[in-house]
Amino acid sequence: MQRNDNPHRSTRAIAMDLSYLLSTSLAPVQETLISYPGPKEFATLAEVSTGVGTALSGGLPSCYQNIETKLKTFFEDPKAFRQVQANTGAIIGGDFARKFIANELQTPVQELYIYTQYSEVKPLDLRAPIFDFLEQERWIADEYNKTGLTIFRKPQAEYDGLTICVLYSMDSPLWNLLDAASSTATLNFITWNRAYSLFPQTTFVDKECYVLQDLAADKAPGMVKRHGDYLRDLTRDVIQTRLLHRYDKYTNLITRPRRVGDKYTYTIELDATSIDCSTVAIPQTVVECSTFKIKFWSWDRNDTQGSVSRYAMSVIGVDSAVLKQSYVVLHEDEKDQFEPDQPAPSRLFKKTIHVVCQVRGLTKLELAKLPESDRPIEYNNIMNRRSREAFGWKGTRVPETWSYYDDDFMKQLGKLWREHERDEMEKGDDRTSQ
C-alpha cells in the first residue's frame, strides 16, 4: 500500500470528518461540539460543505435550540410553561434570551424575565395563568409592587439565588420589552415558538452594544435593576458599551426603520410539536408585523448638566376596540429646524400613522351600527369628536354585530413594509446587515 506522506489533508476529507462528528450517530460528541460555537460560528460551519450544513441542521434543534432543556434551570415542567407562554403571549427577555441565542447557557443565569400584559378585566388579565403556573411550581411572590413588576423566589436549596421577574403593563409584552431595553444587546426575546435577536451583528459578532436609556442613578418604576447594572453585566460578558455607532451617521446601521423578523433579525425556530396551537394568544404574524425605530437622542439645549449623546427606542402601541390584538409600530419625530442632522420623518412612518388613524374611523363605523341599548358611555364624545377613542369592552360581552379588523390592519402594515424595502433597494440603501 502506498503511504500518503502529505501532512495536509484535503478540505473535503476534513469536511467529511466534521460532518460525521456532528451527526446524530455520535450524539454525545455532537452535543459537546455544538455546545461551544455561537451564531457567527454556526453560520461559518454551515458553509464548509453540504454535509456539515446538513449535520448541523439535524443537531441544532436537540442541542443548541432545545429551549426546554435550558428552561429546566427554573421549571420542573418546561413544556407546560411553554404552553402557558402560547396561551398568554408572554415573552422571555433579559440575559436568558441573549445567552440562549449566543449559546452561552452552559453556566445558567440567575434571573428569568417574563413579559406579559394585564387588564383591569379579570378574564382578560394574562398575568393570571402565569402566576397560577408559578404557584404550581412552588415559586413564591416575594416582592410585588404596582409599577408592573412581581418577583418570585423558591425556598428550596437547589433554587437558591434564582429569581423569576414578571414584568407587565397594559401594552403588549413586546412594547414593554422594547421600551425598557437598556441597550441594543438587550433586544433579544423568546416567544413560544421562536427566538429573536434584533441586533445580532453588533451583539454577537462585533461584541458591542449601544445605550438606549437615560443613565439615571435610581431604578425606574417597574425595573428590576438600574440601567447601569445591566450595562455592567454586558461588560462582564465582553460586550463593549458604546454611546454612538461611529458610522451610523453615514450608514444608518442603528437608526434605520426596522421590523421584527426582517433581514437584519437573527431568528431561531423552536420545536413546537407538543404545543397546542389552537389557544395561541398572540399569533406569530402579530409579533412579526411590529416595526420600531431607534433614533438619535437630542438633549435639551438649555441643559447645562453635561448630558451625553445616545440613542433611544421610539415606538408606539396601537390598541383599539376594533382590534383584538395590541400592536407595536415605529414612531419618528417631526423635523427640528435646530437639528440639521435630524432626518425628516420617513414615508413609512407617515403612511403607518395614516393607517393607525384609519382604525379610529373604523371604531366610529362600528359604534354607528350599535342600537342605543348597546352603546358604551363614551359613545357621544367619540362620535361628536369631543374626545379620542378611549374605550374597550369592559368584559367578555361584545355586541353581536361588532367587527374586528386585525387582518386588514396587518395586511396594510405588511404592504407598507414591502414598499419601504422596495424604496430602500431603489435608493441603493441595502447596507451591511445588523
Q: What is the model's pTM?
A: 0.85
3-state secondary structure of 360: helix
Decide: 329 and 352 in contact? Cβ < 8 Å: yes
pLDDT of residue 1: 41
- What is the sign of the dihedral through the CA atoms of 332, 178, 184 and 235? positive
Q: Which of 8, 21, 14, 9 lies closest to 49 in space, CA to CA?
A: 14
Specify the amino acid at residue 402.
Answer: W
Query: Cell numbers at residue 111, please?
Result: 434571573
Decide: 327 and 341 in contact? Cβ < 8 Å: no
Query: Cell numbers at residue 251, please?
Result: 450608514
Per-residue pLDDT band for 3 (boundaries 50, 70, 90) equals very low
Which residues, other chains included, contact 120 with Cβ-Cβ below 8 Å and sequence gap of 6+? 394
Answer with the residue of higher pLDDT: 62 or 156. Answer: 156
Task: Kindly report the number of other CB atoms within 10 A of residue 395's CB atom.
Answer: 10
Rounded to an integer, what distance in angstroms lies between the CA atom of residue 363 and that of residue 427? 37
Per-residue pLDDT band for 377 (boundaries 50, 70, 90) equals confident
Query: Cell numbers at residue 22, please?
Result: 456532528
% of the chain at pLDDT higher than 90: 47
Task: Kindly report the number of other CB atoms within 10 A of residue 209's CB atom.
Answer: 26
3-state secondary structure of 216: coil
List, for residues 201-243, the tens digit of each pLDDT value: 999 999 999 999 887 656 665 667 788 888 898 999 999 998 8
Query: Cell numbers at residue 24, please?
Result: 446524530
395: region left, alpha or beta (phi > 0 left; psi from -120 to 50 alpha):
left
Dihedrals phi, psi of 6, to nearest 5 degrees: -70, 115
Decide: 193 and 275 in contact? Cβ < 8 Å: yes
Rounded to an integer, what distance in angstroms lies between the CA atom of residue 80 and that of residue 59? 24
Least confident of 27-36, 106-115, 337-346: 27-36
Residue 4 has pLDDT above 50, yes or no: no
Specify the amino acid at residue 367.
Answer: L
Task: Kindly report the number of other CB atoms within 10 A of residue 355's CB atom.
Answer: 17
b or e along 258-293 (b: 16 or more beta carbons within 10 Å of the residue's beta carbon)? bbbbbebbbebebebeebeeeebbbeeebbbbbbbb
List, for residues 320-339, the tens digit of each pLDDT value: 889 999 999 999 987 665 56
Own/partner contacts of 372-379, CB < 8 Å, gap of 24 or more, are 374/399
List, for residues 154-205, the tens digit of each pLDDT value: 887 677 889 999 999 889 999 999 999 999 999 999 999 999 999 999 999 9
Residue 2 has pLDDT above 50, yes or no: no
Query: For the chain, what is the mean pLDDT?
Result: 82
- The C-alpha R_g of the chain, in whole angstroms, comes to 24
List, for residues 24-34, the tens digit of each pLDDT value: 555 555 566 55
Decide: 141 and 151 in contact? Cβ < 8 Å: yes
Specify the amino acid at residue 394.
Answer: K
Query: Cell numbers at residue 410, please?
Result: 396587518
Dihedrals phi, psi of 114, to nearest 5 degrees: -120, 125
Specify the amino acid at residue 131.
Answer: F
Q: In what helix (H) or strand (E) does residue 300 lie, and over which residues does it extend?
A: none
DSSP 241-263: EESS-TTHHHH-TTTS-EETTST
Rounded to an integer, what distance in angstroms lies between the CA atom of residue 119 and that of residue 171? 9
Query: Cell numbers at residue 138, please?
Result: 412552588
List, for residues 77-89, the tens digit of each pLDDT value: 999 999 999 999 9
C-alpha 377: how far from chain center: 36
Dihedrals phi, psi of 217, to nearest 5 degrees: -70, -35
C-alpha 249: how far from chain center: 25
Specify the amino acid at residue 331.
Answer: H
